[in-house]
Structure 1
Amino acid sequence: MLPVTLVAVPAIAAGTAILALGPSDDVHGTTIEVAAGSCAAGWDAPQPGRQTFTVRNTGGQSAEVRLIDPASGAIHAEIELLAPGTSRDLSATVGGGTYAWQCLPDSDPPIVSASRQVAGSSAGGQAIIPVTEEIISAPVDAYRAFVTAGLVTLQRNTDTVRADVEAGDLDAARRDWLTAHLDYERLGAAYGTFGDSDAAINGRPDGLPGGVADEDFTGFHRIEYGLWHGESADSLKPLAARLATDVAELGKAFPTQEFDPNDLALRTHEILENTLQFQLTGSADQGSGSVLATASANTDGTRELLEIISPLLTTRAPDALAAAERRLDAFATLLRQIGNPAGTWIAPDRLPLADRQRLNGSLGGLLETLAPIPDVLEIRSTG
């Protein structure tokens, strides 16, 4: 878990700040002025402890404003957007060390203020070393390679499902359907990149006018519905053929699809947030009773993401990484113990209430631990 000295707040609204938290009593410091061609001109070194600065933009354009370690560029606190003619409070826990202000106007080069030395041996709030597109390029390449290999496996196993249905062997199709579906679910962060392909391959009937009978309900979950609701092999053949074709088209398209590098960290939280909403409630189930197997595959996808971004977290938030890995392992183990005790996955509605509550509590704690990671690894402008 991140130390209590740092709360990373998602960038939902303009002016969102990372607040380095310390003692509860704030000391209101000086006003920091952002002006045309200058940044915090004449600012004085603050006293150690919890500080609240008033940051005022008197220039003509919006700017990001950061309190930084001038040697490393690590960010102690920031305002992501400060509009012209506005002021905002920015809080930080100041310890002994050297500080400066960095202003990044929309259209001009960054400006760094004079540095100020703060005397004292007390530790300040944890500072975040900025992540740039160059720094994150290697993890993005590694994830693309992982997904590319995963799509090959997915294609092979989806073709097997198609062959099972073509042969009229629906028992084999049910077995092989689960294997292929879990292949897809392990791809994790890429689902945001897949666009319309995701809806075609893994969409649910929720919100479709015709429900499970809607012609736009296709892919794994449509085949699942048919396999576990007594539909004939002949009725499933076109659906299995379309799924295999859609997977093949995705495999061709993926190398040229755009991938937002911020998604690597964002999906560590979002994958399992969806798991809590759709798998642990059982709402994604279309008859197979395998949603907890899907939840397990989702943990595999999240673990892959954490492994890929771990070099970045090790130098920025090692405690957060260690806590996330520990809680992910604990949830995965509990999920297998409760959901698959005898080698067959159990549907959530067949579990005792106490077991469902244990799963929800474990996953909720994991999500709380994962939540700050996207902010720590958010790609930040260097001007």
Structure 2
Amino acid sequence: MSTRARLAAFFAALGALVVVATILTIALRPVAVAPNAPDAFDITAGMDDCGRGWGAAGTAETDGVAAEAPAVRGGDQTFTVTNTTVGGIEVYVQAVDSKRVYLDLESIGAGAHATARVTLGAGRYRFVCLPADADPVRGPVVTVGKAPPGSPLTPGIVPVTRTDLIPVAKAYTAWVASRLPALRQQVAAVAADAEEGDLPAARRDWLTAHTTYETLGAAYDAFGELGDQLDGVPRGEPTGFHLVESQLWHGDAAATVAASADALLGLVDRLQAEFADVQLDPGDVALRAHEIVEDAIQDTLTGATDAGSGTSLASADAELTGAEQALAPLEPVLASRYDRLGDTRAALAAAHAVVETHRAADGTWTPLAQLSRADRERVDAALDRAAELLAPVAAICDPRRDS
């Protein structure tokens, strides 16, 4: 269910310059600048010339002591950055004292240029260049003067490192592991119901088990091929949960359902055993927090993952819970970095409320096809809002190499 490939294609389509403006609340945008504009600078970014061109000639950091270049005016600074290495490079502007990042340019190709603008207040700053497969290179320190009164300064953000995210990954891994025994018990109930010939009970228990599985979305990449077998999207031959779903809602014999449920139980047993040795990548949890809701919009709410039960809204509700569970261990990291964290939590709660209006008192859910146009628009808008607010989380928590 991962959309990592779609995200990679999206960012690649942006070209050599990837803008993290939404994430860092940075006013980063392509600009047309007169060649002799006093606050426009041609900057080189390489192993030996990182940050050269900002102000007058400066001296790169030597023996841990950086020489200051002559001061430049505060306010708008427009940089045309040229990658002078033979590979890709990431370049950012960082405050020397606070370590906050004010401009971040990712994936500038060899020999390529990127133009961006940032508004800086008084302080000491420098470019940091991160060539591919090489240590960070720190440019000369530049002293920036006071910005003109009323200038909307670009806020900076303290970058996140993999070290910051290790406790997040451990906490989320432990939570997923704690849910797997319940998932096994729920799948076992489906198999037992079918063996007894009680298919209505099997349908109810299938929904309970499947929604539990849907809450584990930030771990799907770690499940690998086993995850595909457990919850294969029913294009062609459904697998795992969706095979049992298809049989339960298309009139297959109880013995057939029981055999498939037993096979599903075996997959859950494998998952529980294999996950005991898994430690999620520290960067995955934040990425998946956004992807879970995006998957719900693109797959679940289009009916692409419905094999006959008509319970797509139940799945979407569970996926929202999954996003909340992925977000929870990130909150200590995000609290000082993302000023819309509270809005994000509220948007997820609001999306739950909208979706759950379509659950009846007996636990059944309205099928997507039976939603009115107005109801469908409300559901789509609620999940779109949550996805929009979660998008910055992935980029804020994209771990950066220590500079």
Q: Aligned pairs, how many?
A: 366
Q: Could you say if the C-alpha distance between residues 60 and 240 of structure 1 is closer, same or farther in structure 2, counting changes exceeding 3 Å?
A: closer
Deviation per residue, 1:187-209 (Å, 9 max, x gap): 12011221111111111221x2x
Structure-1 residue corresponding to 2:104: 78
Please name the residue that 1:4 is paired with: none
Name the amino acid aligned to 2:340.
A
Is the Cα–Cα contact under 8 Å of residues 78 and 90 in structure 1 kept in the other structure? no
2:67: which partner in 1? none
Aligned pairs for 1:335-346 within 5 A: 335-340=355-360, 343-346=363-366
Residue 103 of structure 1 aligns to a residue whose secondary structure is strand
Quote the residue 1:111 is aligned against: 138
Q: Is the CA contact (8 Å cut-off) linking 2:74 and 2:146 kept in structure 1?
A: yes
Contact 1:193 1:257 in 2 (8 A): yes
Alignment RMSD (CA, Å): 2.5
Alpha-carbon separation, structure 2, partners of 1:283 and 1:58: 46
How is 1:126-165 mapped onto 2 (pairs within 5 angstroms)? 126-165=155-194
> 2:45 is matched with which residue: 34, 43, 68?
34
Aligned partner (choices 269, 294, 299) of residue 315 of structure 2: 294
Separation of aligned partners in 2, 1:278 and 1:96: 48
Please tell me whether residue 305 in structure 1 is matched to residue 326 in structure 2: yes
CA 1:41–1:157: 2 relative to 1, 3 Å = same
The 1-side partners of 2:170 and 2:359 are apart by 34
1:35, distance to aligned residue in structure 2 (A): 4.4
Hey, what's the Cα distance between the residues in 1 that align with 2:20 and 2:189? 49
What is residue 249 of structure 1 aligned with on the other side?
270
Q: Report what 1:125 is aligned to.
A: 154
Which residue of 2 is the match for residue 328 of structure 1? 348
Mapped to 1, the partners of 2:154 and 2:360 lie a distance apart of 43
Q: Distance in 2 between matches of 1:342 and 1:47?
A: 67
- The one-letter amino acid of 1:21's match is A
* Equivalent AA in structure 1 for residue 156 of structure 2: A
Map of 1:358 onto structure 2 = 378
- Whether the 8 Å contact between 1:37 and 1:111 is mirrored in structure 2 is no
- Of residues 32, 50, 54, the one that matches 1:43 is 54
Give, in whole Å, the separation in 2 of the partners of 1:287 and 1:60.
Answer: 53
Q: Are the aligned partners of 1:26 and 1:52 in contact in 2 as well (CA < 8 Å)?
A: no
SS at match of 1:39: coil
Determine the C-alpha separation between the residues in 1 that align with 2:361 and 2:381: 19
Per the alignment, residue 220 of structure 1 pairs with 241
**Given the superposition, is the C-alpha separation of residues 191 and 128 from structure 1 closer, same or farther in structure 2, using an over 3 Å criterion?**
same
**Matched letter for residue 163 of structure 1:** A
Letter in 2 for 1:227: L
Runs of at least 5 residues in structure 2 that lack an aligned partner in the other structure: 1-9, 56-70
- Secondary structure of the residue that 2:288 maps to in structure 1? helix
Separation in structure 1 between the aligned mates of residue 294 and residue 109 of structure 2, nearest angstrom: 33
Single out whichever of 155-164 and 117-126 deviates more from structure 2: 117-126
- C-alpha distance after superposition, 1:87-144 (max 9, x if no partner): 3213223234332211223424432421313313645212232111111000000000
**d(CA) in 1 for partners of 2:276 and 2:184?**
15
- Which secondary structure does the structure 2 equivalent of 1:90 belong to? strand
Deviation at residue 338 of structure 1 after TM alignment: 3.6
Deviations 1:118-176 (A, max 9, x none): 31364521223211111100000000001001111111111111111222221221111
- After TM superposition, the structure 1 = structure 2 runs for residues 162-201 of structure 1, keeping only pairs within 5 Å, are 162-201=191-230
Contact 2:74–2:144 (8 Å) recurs in 1? no
Q: Residue 260 in 1 paired to residue 281 in 2?
A: yes
Q: Is the 8 A contact 1:95 1:118 kept in 2?
A: yes
Match of 1:90 among 107, 116, 122: 116
Instruction: Answer yes or no: is the 8 Å Cα contact 2:122–2:143 preserved in 1.
Output: no
* 1:26/1:51 contact within 8 Å kept: no
Cα–Cα, structure 1 residues 125 and 255, in superposed 2: closer, same or farther, change >3 Å?
A: farther
2:63 aligns with none
TM-score with structure 2 setting the length: 0.83
Whether 2:21 is the aligned partner of 1:21: answer no
Alpha-carbon spacing, 1:36–1:344, altered in 2? closer, same or farther (3 Å): closer
Deviations 1:298-346 (A, max 9, x none): 11111111111111111111x2211111111111111112444774311
What SS is found at the alignment partner of 2:184?
A: helix
